[in-house]
A and B are shown apart, each in its own frame.
Chain A
Amino acid sequence: MRAFQILIDGFAISALYALGATGFTLIFGVSGVLNLSHGAIMVAAAVAAWAAASILGVGTYAGALIGVAVALLTAFATYFAVVKPIQDSRRIPNEEKEIFVLTGTLLWGIMIQELIAYFFTNNAKTVLPIVEGVVEILGVRTPKNEIFTAIVCCLVIALLWLLVNRTRTGKAVLAASMNPRGVTLLGLELTNIYIVVWAIYGILAGIAGVLLGMFLGVSSYSVGPLTASAFSIVVLGGLGSVSGSLIAAFVVGYLETLTAYLVSPAYRTIPALLLLVFVMYIRPQGLLGRR
């Protein structure tokens, strides 16, 4: 009974982590950017979906779409207003650009967080679930919304796989992640590829944010922890490796759920962080890292 409970809850949370981390790792893989405003973009999506549905009363579906749209816009804003100016700058030495991008996106994330707190308070918001009610699975009373979350996450990740491996655009993205210079030599504009990647990222982060808002709820305080959790999943899986992130997301998700059920909810995140430290010792490139 309890084993099934852990299995089911763990799956939903892991799938959500996986979706959140995929976009994060994709951006790093393709353009070398560690986007520390990741959590802020997810929270912006969830809060926008909540505000559209609860304050403007546009309904659950439209609210969710608005949430994803806001994430997409915020992702573009992050790229054009923060990341690109740093990458294009001639005054910042090339070897320092990564640090500048890290700091820039971190500050940008804090700005978004404070804006959300200012306009919508720092209280948790929950997005009205698209499907309500519960079903019994193997004797476990499971909210339909939890199943919905897991299904959407898996579907979106599958679509992403198809996009990357089966379409021309996707192959260009893949190529850029392997050898950016080679891609430019083939006559593809690197900036266009970056825009595509940031668009994919925005949509992924938006869907993850809205689903998180439906499943657990978010507040402006969630910004830091969400960035940190995506970051540690991605580092655990191997920076830039999408499949590594997926595996790591499930490892972390299940480890947290096991701890919460079998030890105490208060210690939920500790074992996963210990595992991260341990993996860094014995395999610094992460589970499926390339280096």
Chain B
Amino acid sequence: MNRALSGALRIALGAAATGAVMAASGAALAADPIKIGVIAEAQAIAGASIPQAAQLAADEINAKGGVDGRKIEIIGYDNHSSSADSVRAFQRAVNEDKVNAVIASYISEVVLALEPWASRLKTPFITPGAASNEISKSVHADYEKNKYTFHGYLTSAALALSVCDAAKDLLVDRMHMKSAVIMSEDAAWTKPLDVGYEECLPKIGLKVLDHIRFSPDTTDFTPIFNKIEGSKPDVIITGISHVGVQPTVQWKNQQVPIPMFGISSQATNETFGKDTNQAAEGVLYQGVSGPGVAVTPKSVPFAENFKKKYGNYPSYAGYTAYDEVYYIADAVKRAGSTDADKLVDALEKTDWEGTIGRVQFYGKDDPFTHSIKYGKGLITGLMLQWQDGKQIAVWPKDVAKVDVKFPSFIKLSN
């Protein structure tokens, strides 16, 4: 009992002492670095680009003298794709490493687990790759509490719109397709995505014949493709992120004669080609940017520099993470401080031309508060296709270089 008491006393004393030291150091903050914690799935195909791109952005900003003389420091944490690890990393980032802002994760479940922690620890937090509508809906529902969270990637609702916009031009108008089957993994981000698909596909003239949700643990996709073929659709509309390599390779090995079109996060990373032994050939996927695609003047130089430094082109979350470091730095500059509330105010006023388009956030009154705005002149997304081992933009027209083409086993019905 006594020992426990003295232990508690010691901790309290220690905390007080640390507090005193912190208060003292607060005065000499001017040249301290701006610390950004980056919590990401360093071992996953889509997540690996996040810390790499963030570091690249920080290096560039620092090479130009930093923000008002303050350097950007990236502190990375590998979360092993786990929510629990992410929460611990977030606590450590804020409480021990004293970060000013956090960039984290492409997995919606992880981001939804971190969101309350951003509120509790009052730390600005942006996700470069999660899509669930719930992220920004929570900000809208309780703004004062959750205003620290920003959604630096399109919501599932916007993703579904982006896919439908592209499908209308490419599949319906050009190839006269009439029907589709939705194939998506069972995860938080695909629930609103599927709702979006179900709503917008019929509107553009694609009848939804079937809707297959499968477990992300699935390894054998034969029965799924078999079922899809049974309903004879013109196209498979995908919503996959946790899986990617296996369905793609089996699609090719089994020569499923129906094209795949939609969200396929793993396909956004250049390493996907090697991982699938080029089975990705012909796969159409939605992206916010891509190698060689000049969405803005910043897109191509970033992708090339990234490849020079890390050996491959980034995944979609690499582009967003890179932009995020820049607009966090920009917000710090405008706020003139790293104070959390001032930083949130400044981030809300973001108007930043990044690699994925023009980044602005929806306001307090929009249902998707703090999510990036979707639309022409802002961010519209692209449709890319794997052709001859490369990722090539096929939509929209102003950036598309080539036509859609499919491997020989694809049988177009029209």
* A residues lining the B interface (CB < 8 Å): 5, 9, 13, 53-55, 117-118, 121-129, 132-134, 141, 143, 145, 216-217, 219-220, 222, 225, 257, 260-261, 265-266, 268
Contact = CB atoms under 8 A, between A and B. Distances in A.
Interface of B: 43-45, 48, 81, 186, 213-215, 217-224, 226, 243-246, 249-250, 253-255, 266, 274-277, 279
Contacts, number: 87
B45 A121 contact: yes
B274 A222 contact: no
A91 B14 CA distance: 44
Contacts of B219: 216-217, 222, 225
A143 B255 contact: yes
A88 B402 CA distance: 66
A126 B245 contact: yes
A159 to B, nearest CB: 26
Q: Considering the complex of A and B, which 3 residue pairs feature the smallest CB-CB distances, nearest first?
A: A124-B245, A260-B223, A126-B249
Nearest to B253: A143
Contact of A216 (B48, B244, B246, B279): B246
A74 B147 CA distance: 51
B274 A54 contact: yes
Contacts of B213: 266
B266 A216 contact: no
A156 to B, nearest CB: 21
A17 to B, nearest CB: 12
B384 to A, nearest CB: 19
Contact of A124 (B43, B81, B246): B246
A225 B217 CA distance: 10
Contact of A122 (B43, B215, B217): B43
B246 A126 contact: yes
B274 A124 contact: no
B254 A126 contact: no
A20 to B, nearest CB: 13
Nearest to A8: B222
Given A121-B44, A141-B254, A260-B220, A266 B186 contact: yes
Contacts of B222: 9, 260
A133 B274 CA distance: 19
A9 B227 CA distance: 14
Contacts of B249: 126, 217
Contact of B275 (A118, A124, A141, A260): A124
Given A216-B219, A222-B219, A265-B214, A121 B253 contact: no
A126 B186 contact: no
Given A121-B44, A123-B275, A141-B255, A217 B214 contact: no
A219 B218 CA distance: 12
A265 B215 contact: yes
Contacts of B244: 123-124
B275 A126 contact: yes
Contacts of A143: 253-255
A162 to B, nearest CB: 31
B240 to A, nearest CB: 12
Given A13-B220, A222-B219, 17 more contacts: A53-B277, A54-B274, A55-B274, A118-B43, A124-B245, A126-B246, A129-B253, A132-B253, A141-B254, A143-B254, A145-B253, A216-B246, A217-B246, A217-B249, A219-B245, A257-B223, A265-B215
A61 to B, nearest CB: 15
Contacts of B253: 129, 132, 143, 145
Nearest to A122: B43
20 contacts: A5-B226, A9-B223, A53-B277, A55-B274, A122-B81, A123-B245, A124-B275, A125-B245, A125-B275, A126-B249, A127-B277, A132-B253, A133-B255, A134-B254, A143-B253, A217-B219, A217-B250, A260-B220, A266-B186, A266-B215
Contacts of B186: 266
Nearest to B229: A141
A261 B276 CA distance: 25
A65 B59 CA distance: 43
B43 to A, nearest CB: 5
Contacts of A128: 277
A121 B254 CA distance: 26
Contacts of B274: 54-55
Contacts of B226: 5, 261
B226 to A, nearest CB: 6
B43 A121 contact: yes
